[in-house]
Amino acid sequence: MKVIVTGGAGFIGSALIRYLIKECGCTVLNLDKLTYAGNLDNLKEVDADERYSFVQCDICDAEKVAQIFNDFAPDTIMHLAAESHVDRSIDAPLEFVRTNVMGTANLLHCALNYYSQLPEEKKEQFRFQHISTDEVYGSLGKDGYFTESTPYDPRSPYSASKASSDHMVRAWGHTFKLPVLLSNCSNNYGPYHFPEKLIPLIILNALDGKPLPIYGKGDNVRDWLFVEDHARALWLINRKGVPGETYNIGGNSERTNLEVVEECCKILDELVPKAESYSKQITFVSDRPGHDLRYAIDASKLKRDLGWEPQITFSEGLRATVKWYLDNSWWWKPIREKNYAGERLGKGK
């Protein structure tokens, strides 16, 4: 299978490409603009493979995207390119509208032109797969879960732009009969996670002896999924999912932010002990504006229809992640020195 992965130099896209190259025998073209979040070091494990290639491209660039479709002639496309950080969407929302909404619409437009001229047998296997987030559903109280039929209620510029892109994808599926697939996934974590997101930020700040910032009281809840479990789910959906359908993906691992940070500290205390526990560095800071209280996914459709379940528990995955950061300072040191040193983002006006 020839697969275009957009956003393949990012956290989840690179995990997906590693999986497609190493375990699925695919030929992959990574289409990525290389924003601050894109990093070709994430592909070091596969970039010498002749089945892997990279092209630097903005998904908003209609001419270049059309050219790439024609030259590479993909059997399927998996769309992950996005601005992905809620805090940055508070500081610079329009970049999120540009990439997540306009970029997705442009990609759909180019994909439809390409799809329309495919022979019937190629059309049958082609999919436009859109990778989205559980944040489009809004915020839960203490109880309940997001299902595929939960009404959309996005509340940050990030989640509003992702919700909007989901609507675009469904519109192209409904109106133009483009064979689309959607999935909405909970918070991912794992290796190569850009250290602006909670878990890698905490690990690296802890090692640097810096404060571990917790927004508000730390009682917001997220449902955590190891990134490799997400990659497996995505390829399964691409090959076995029913066009037009949406699948929720979740880790069944709800934790408050404070619990997550304390668990990181406990693992670090064990692996790299020092006089005082890392938990002494925990600092409560002002809350994120509009901070969603709780996300929790009901992933039973994906289990029932396609047989997917997470294979890695949160405690296994978190330990593996902490160990990975301890062993791979070559990856994160240049990012912390040149790109993003861990300063507070998204405080609002």
Least separation in angstroms between CB 135 and ligand TYD: 6
Contact of residue 11 among ligand NAD, ligand TYD, none (CB under 5-8 Å per partner type) = ligand NAD
Of 156-185, binders to ligand NAD (CB under 6 A) are 162, 185
Task: Point out which span in 53-61, 112-120, 142-150, 340-348 binds ligand NAD (CB under 6 A).
Answer: 53-61
Selection from 36, 32, 33 nearest residue 8 by Cα = 32
Which is the catalytic residue, given 32, 83, 134, 196?
Answer: 134
Nearer to ligand NAD, 59 or 267 (CB): 59
| Secondary structure of the chain as H, E, C letters | CEEEEECCCCHHHHHHHHHHHHHCCCEEEEEECCCCCCCHHHHCCCCCCCCEEEEECCCCCHHHHHHHHHHHCCCEEEECCCCCCHHHHHHCHHHHHHHHHHHHHHHHHHHHHHHHCCCHHHHHHCCEEEEEEHHHHCCECCCCCECCCCCCCCCCHHHHHHHHHHHHHHHHHHHHCCCEEEEEECEEECCCCCCCCHHHHHHHHHHCCCCEEEECCCCCEEEEEEHHHHHHHHHHHHHHCCCCCEEEECCCCEEEHHHHHHHHHHHHHHHCCCCCCHHHHEEEECCCCCCCCECCECCHHHHHHHCCCCCCCHHHHHHHHHHHHHHCHHHHHHHHHHHCCCCCCCCCC
Query: Under the criterion CB under 6 A, does residue 248 sit at the interface with ligand NAD?
Result: no
Least separation in angstroms between CB 313 and ligand TYD: 19
Site string for ligand NAD, 101-140 (x = CB under 6 A): --x---------------------------xxx-------
Q: Is 134 a catalytic residue?
A: yes
Query: Under the criterion CB under 6 A, does residue 86 sit at the interface with ligand TYD?
Result: yes
Least separation in angstroms between CB 270 and ligand NAD: 26
Q: How many CA atoms lie within 13 A of 36 on its CB side?
A: 14
Task: Point out which span in 28-36, 115-123, 210-218, 313-321 binds ligand TYD (CB under 6 A).
Answer: 210-218
Nearer to ligand NAD, 221 or 281 (CB): 221
Number of residues that bind ligand NAD (CB under 6 A): 31
Query: Under the criterion CB under 6 A, does residue 197 sit at the interface with ligand TYD?
Result: yes
Contact of residue 86 among ligand NAD, ligand TYD, none (CB under 5-8 Å per partner type) = ligand TYD
What residues line the site for ligand TYD (CB under 6 A)? 86, 187, 197-198, 201, 213-215, 220, 222, 257, 288
What is the set of active-site residues? 134-135, 158
The binding site for ligand NAD (CB under 6 A) comprises: 6-7, 9-13, 32-35, 37-38, 58-60, 80-84, 99, 103, 131-133, 162, 185, 187-188, 194
